[in-house]
């Protein structure tokens, strides 16, 4: 059985491969990366390093040869990723892959988040391919909040326009380990996993941060326009601000408020306490 991970030099993919190497022999693991030189450390451990670029369909056809099980980690290029994902799905199909796992979005088919359409299109394309699949619908990486944690540590309040909306934050490592368990395991064909930590409000997350910092964290609830202005004043690039505001709005409207025990079932343990992760980030 040969397992391939795309994006294996990224933050998530690196941990997936690291975990896989604890579950299966290195000879059974392959990675598809745009720059093989960045994956030399995997090659040194016996991993089969292959060149694959989502924007180059021919490279994917070559990279996926002889692959039985594949993890498609969603592209970080937001402008063109539905097409990129379809290139990967086509290559997997053409090479006879027997299983395809995909890192999707929480409640992808119903989500109102601006990120959702690409995930919706990818899930549909995977279903239509006929390849047995698992959708790993990741909620929200706690590491996404690292900048806010640091700002609060330096004296800023916790700023949000998400109101009482809840998020199922969890550690990136937990998401990666769940993906590795699915790749290396059996019985996950045509499964949809909602991977969410216990949903919390911004105020509850700020309280956990306060416990870690051993002081009270001030919470500043603002409207979307003010939130965007504050982010701009903090030096966030102008082009990213509408995206950040849309995430706050989506949280407020419940798009990441997912209750599920899928995470614990795949991991075989509770998700890592957020306070433990925050201590590593601050």
CA atoms of 14 and 236, how far apart (whole Å): 27
> Could you report the per-residue pLDDT of 128-171, keeping only the tens digit for each?
999 999 999 999 999 999 999 999 999 999 999 999 999 999 99
Report yes or no on 210 lying in a domain: no
What is the crossing angle of helices 146-153 and 202-213, to 10°? Answer: 50
Report yes or no on 187 lying in a domain: yes
Report yes or no on 21 lying in a domain: yes
CA atoms of 218 and 233, how far apart (whole Å): 19
CA atoms of 226 and 181, how far apart (whole Å): 42
Q: Give the pair of three-digit tokens for residue 30.
A: 């392959």
What pTM, to 2 d.p., does this model score? Answer: 0.96
Q: Answer yes or no: is pLDDT of 9 > 80.
A: yes
Report yes or no on 19 lying in a domain: yes
CA atoms of 138 and 82, how far apart (whole Å): 17
Report yes or no on 52 lying in a domain: yes
- Tally the domains of the chain: 1
Report yes or no on 123 lying in a domain: yes
CATH classification of the domain holding 81: 3.40.50.720
> Could you report the per-residue pLDDT of 40-98, keeping only the tens digit for each?
999 999 999 999 999 999 999 999 999 999 999 999 887 889 999 999 999 999 999 99
Name the residue range of residue 190's domain: 3-138+171-196+259-270
Residue 79 confidence (pLDDT): 82
Report yes or no on 101 lying in a domain: yes
Report yes or no on 278 lying in a domain: no
């Amino acid at each position: 059985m040969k397992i391939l991970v795309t994006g294996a030099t990224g933050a998530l993919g690196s941990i997936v491969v690291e975990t896989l190497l604890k579950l299966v022999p290195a000879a059974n693991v392959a990675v598809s990366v745009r720059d093989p030189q960045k994956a030399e450390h995997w090659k040194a451990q016996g991993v089969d390093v292959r060149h694959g670029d989502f924007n180059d369909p021919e490279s994917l056809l070559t990279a996926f040869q002889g692959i039985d099980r594949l993890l498609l980690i969603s592209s970080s290029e937001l402008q063109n990723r539905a097409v990129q994902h379809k290139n990967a799905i086509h290559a997997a199909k053409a090479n006879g892959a027997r299983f395809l796992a995909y890192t999707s979005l929480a409640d992808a088919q119903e989500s109102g988040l601006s990120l959702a359409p690409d995930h919706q299109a990818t899930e549909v394309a995977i279903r239509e391919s006929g390849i047995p699949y698992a959708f790993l619908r990741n909620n929200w990486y706690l590491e996404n909040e690292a900048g806010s944690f640091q700002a609060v540590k330096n004296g800023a309040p916790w700023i949000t326009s998400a109101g009482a909306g809840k998020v199922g934050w969890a550690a990136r490592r937990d998401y990666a380990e769940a993906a590795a368990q699915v790749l290396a395991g059996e019985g996950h064909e045509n499964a949809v996993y909602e991977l969410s930590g216990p949903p919390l409000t911004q105020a509850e997350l700020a309280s956990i941060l306060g416990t870690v910092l051993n002081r009270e964290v001030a919470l500043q609830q603002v409207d979307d326009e003010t939130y965007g202005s504050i982010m701009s004043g903090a030096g966030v690039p102008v082009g990213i601000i509408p995206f950040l505001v849309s995430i706050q709005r989506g949280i407020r409207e419940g798009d990441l408020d997912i209750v599920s025990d899928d995470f614990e079932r795949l991991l075989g343990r509770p998700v890592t306490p957020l306070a433990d992760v925050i201590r590593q980030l601050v």
